[in-house]
Chain A
């Protein structure tokens, strides 16, 4: 993993068009500003992971008879 030290107000650039700026640092909380092309989705990692997990669970083959039982 590449590790870069950044101070408040400094940025990194990923590829040609994704910029991440350190907006503020307060204790263990860092606020990041992200500028990315409009068609790139940005999410908190844990939220995206939760959706992945839920999708995997939803994809498991289950007995669907329950949908039809009276």
Chain B
């Protein structure tokens, strides 16, 4: 199918790759379908693009590339909701809040997006621990460009 995207114009996507956020995301409860799109130039970052809303596209990052000791504990409710059975099928991504420069930009470590890569069920969970901030400065040491 074809969709309109915020950063890539109109593109053809494989419907099999659509992620199902059954509960939406906090602040975007009506947005239940997204797709992950890649930048050619900056492999560390991806775009989580809404299927139905062109203007809704989050920049996301694999947290472990920047915070090596980042830990996400999935509770039973999440495992059940996403029908997760093995650790290998889990993909964790964090939303990035862009500022004027990458160094000033932050990532929301308290609310990671959890994706079951087997069935494409996804959910933004809120960690009950308070050790991870919603505005974590994880790019301070990056010289822009997310080349990893």
Binding site for B on A (CB under 8 A): 38-39, 41, 43, 47-48, 50-59, 61-64, 66-70
Q: Which A residues are in CB contact (< 8 Å) with B124?
A: 51, 55
Q: Which A residues are in CB contact (< 8 Å) with B56?
A: 59
Q: Which B residues are in CB contact (< 8 Å) with A39?
A: 77, 80-81
Q: Which B residues are in CB contact (< 8 Å) with A56?
A: 27
Q: Which A residues are in CB contact (< 8 Å) with B58?
A: 55, 58-59
CB contact under 8 A between A70 and B27, given known A51-B126, A51-B134, A55-B95: no
Within 8 A of A (CB), among B1-60: 6-7, 23, 25-28, 39, 41-42, 45, 55-59
- Interface-forming stretch among B65-73, B84-92, B96-104? B96-104
A67 and B134 within 8 A (CB): no
Binding site for A on B (CB under 8 A): 6-7, 23, 25-28, 39, 41-42, 45, 55-59, 76-77, 80-81, 95-102, 105, 108, 110-111, 124, 126, 134-135, 143-146
By beta carbon, the residue of chain B nearest A66 is B102
Q: Which B residues are in CB contact (< 8 Å) with A53?
A: 27, 134
CB contact under 8 A between A69 and B97, given known A38-B80, A39-B77, A61-B55: no
CB contact under 8 A between A66 and B27, given known A48-B126, A51-B126: no
The answer for the CA separation of A52 and B105 in the assembled complex, in Å, is 18
Specify which of A48, A50, A59 is in contact with B28 (CB 8 Å cutoff).
A59
Specify which of B7, B23, B45, B126 is in contact with A47 (CB 8 Å cutoff).
B126
Q: Which A residues are in CB contact (< 8 Å) with B39?
A: 67-68
Given A66-B102, A70-B144, 7 extra CB contacts under 8 A: A48-B26, A54-B97, A55-B28, A55-B58, A55-B108, A55-B124, A59-B56
CB contact under 8 A between A54 and B135, given known A47-B126, A67-B59: yes
Specify which of A47, A50, A57, A67 is in contact with B42 (CB 8 Å cutoff).
A67
